[in-house]
Structure 1
Amino acid sequence: MSGSAHASAPAGRWVTEVIPASFERVDTADDTAGEWISRRYHRPENAFVRLNMVATLTGSSTGADGSSTSISSRVDRLLLGAIRREADVVVVGAETVRAEGSVLPKTARLAIVTATGDLGDGSLRRRDGREVPPALLLCRPEHAARVTAAVGNAPAEVVAVPSSGAPGEDASRLHPVDIVRALHARGLRRIVCEGGAGLATQFVESGMVDEVCVTVSPFLEPVHHPFLSLSTSVPSEVAGMLVDDAGFSYRRLTIRR
């Protein structure tokens, strides 16, 4: 989940497509920029799983403030909007919500993976007073009562997700296979996971991810929270890449199966 730009970074304005090598560019201050970006992030399928993350050149998923806010950019937020508009649901971990807060998305449901219901202060805010569906709090059945008690009157619905016994499943955490199955059961088939890093790694290693969208910011930060901590190689190929005039790059990687 992304926020405001790094204090020392110039604000990128022009974005150029380098893969495919069209070298078309757009001024993000122009009214046509949103449509230009949306065309490049469109997926025609009725069901898919995307991962959308931001990382520094050193591979950190967070900046000095402990969140992705300080390593993001204005263009990154434009891409975030385009990716969310393609989705039925945005999946995040509760730790990310505690670190960064969460405004309920305009066009997609928000699903939060939690074992405790602890979402921190000021979370689950509605944008500009808009009426949007409540967040889905995904948890194991044995944690449902605790999560329900913790969220109180917050705009949220607790969803108990049973285990399917997926290979390599950690009894203490929800498995991505079960998360995806529970969302599909609610008609939410176009899924984007926005981390944090631990949940992102789980999703990629589970084989559930079709495409990885990653913003690489031009910062050298200590790596306390790696963007991904994979235990094995995951075959992929670059499906698209944009760059801006502030040094940020924006890649889409297709996972090969």
Structure 2
Amino acid sequence: MTGIQQIFPAGDAGPLTTEDLERLYAYPDGTGVRVAVNFVSSADGAVEVEGGSAGLSTPPDRVVLDLGTDLADVVLVAAGTATSEGFTGVKHNDRMDDRRRRFGLAGVPVTAVVTSSGRSLDPSAPVLTDTLVPTIVFTCESVSAGLRDRWSDAGADVVLTGDGAVDLGAAVAELQRRGLRRVNCMGGPALFGSLAEAGLVDELRLTVAPFLVSGGAGRIARGAGMDPARLELLSVVTGDDTLLIRYRVGDSAAG
């Protein structure tokens, strides 16, 4: 038992089982790509404490994060977030192996990193070197060929999708071409903002953690700005004073 209860849509009063949560967070059947974005924020909107999100996470949040990774074909992350959060490639554990076997998924999800400048992705970064399957690096022509070669030498699968910035539409299309249609995006805010502005986000999975932080921490999405996109509430579950919310992302509400 998880100690997590569903409050929307209304269900039984008792805690959800692991199987209940798997059904709630599973990607829908079909052949189309599905991009789900995960974020945790404090009750006052902060997305980090002392430079990282770990200080905001609670046990229910970690349950949902595990579900996102376990049920995905690919974990998509910005290079800066991968570096600051100490990402490696996804590794085996008994929970994930059992879950992926039951859902008919490959052994481990692929990791895909996005970088338009290359500055945040050192070739020695664990997200490139500490992996079970090669990490995909989506980058662009403006990044030096020498740096791209060093990523390749470190074991990465380097994919060019754009001239001066990564073309995220082309990147998502490439994931789908490879059969990686269940996309679990782990941030950061600039990548989320760019995906949202391009109309590429299907679902937002937002954890509202029971903390007040104040200070100058950023918000979950950052970018040039967009007409407000309407969100449809899919589910709300709670545990340990934490709200775990799923929204379907709709079209722009303007016009």
* Shorter-chain TM-score range: 0.7 to 0.9
CA distance in 1, matches of 2:217, 2:176: 33
Match of 1:14 in 2: 3
Match of 1:81 in 2: 66
- Contact conserved, 1:87 with 1:108, CA < 8 A, in 2? yes
Q: TM-score, normalised to structure 1's length?
A: 0.79
- Contact conserved, 2:42 with 2:211, CA < 8 A, in 1? yes
Deviation per CA, 1:128-184: give whole Å up to 9, x if none.
xxx721111110133262432443753422111246xxxxxxxx4313212212212
Match of 1:94 in 2: 79
- Contact conserved, 2:75 with 2:185, CA < 8 A, in 1? yes
Q: Percent identity?
A: 26
Match of 2:133 in 1: 133
Deviation at 1:186, TM superposition (A): 2.0
Question: Which amino acid is the alignment partner of residue 197 of structure 1?
Answer: P
Match of 2:89 in 1: 104
Deviation at 1:256, TM superposition (A): 2.2
- Which secondary structure state, in structure 2, belongs to the residue aligned with residue 159 of structure 1? strand
Deviation at 1:34, TM superposition (A): 3.1
CA distance in 2, matches of 1:208, 1:122: 27
**Quick one: which of 237, 241, 254 aligns to 2:236?**
241
- Which secondary structure state, in structure 2, belongs to the residue aligned with residue 14 of structure 1? coil
**Structure 1 unmatched ranges of 5 or more:** 1-12, 28-32, 164-171
Match of 1:142 in 2: 142
The count of corresponding residues between Structure 1 and Structure 2 is 227
Question: Which amino acid is the alignment partner of residue 134 of structure 2?
Answer: P
Question: Which amino acid is the alignment partner of residue 239 of structure 1?
Answer: L
1:170-181 equivalences in 2 (<5 Å): 172-181=164-173
**Structure 2 unmatched ranges of 5 or more:** 92-107
**Quick one: which of 24, 37, 51 aligns to 1:66?**
51
**Displaced runs of 4 or more, over 6 A:** none
Deviation at 1:249, TM superposition (A): 0.6
1:203-214 equivalences in 2 (<5 Å): 203-214=195-206
1:122-201 equivalences in 2 (<5 Å): 123-124=126-127, 132-143=132-143, 145-151=145-151, 153-162=153-162, 172-201=164-193
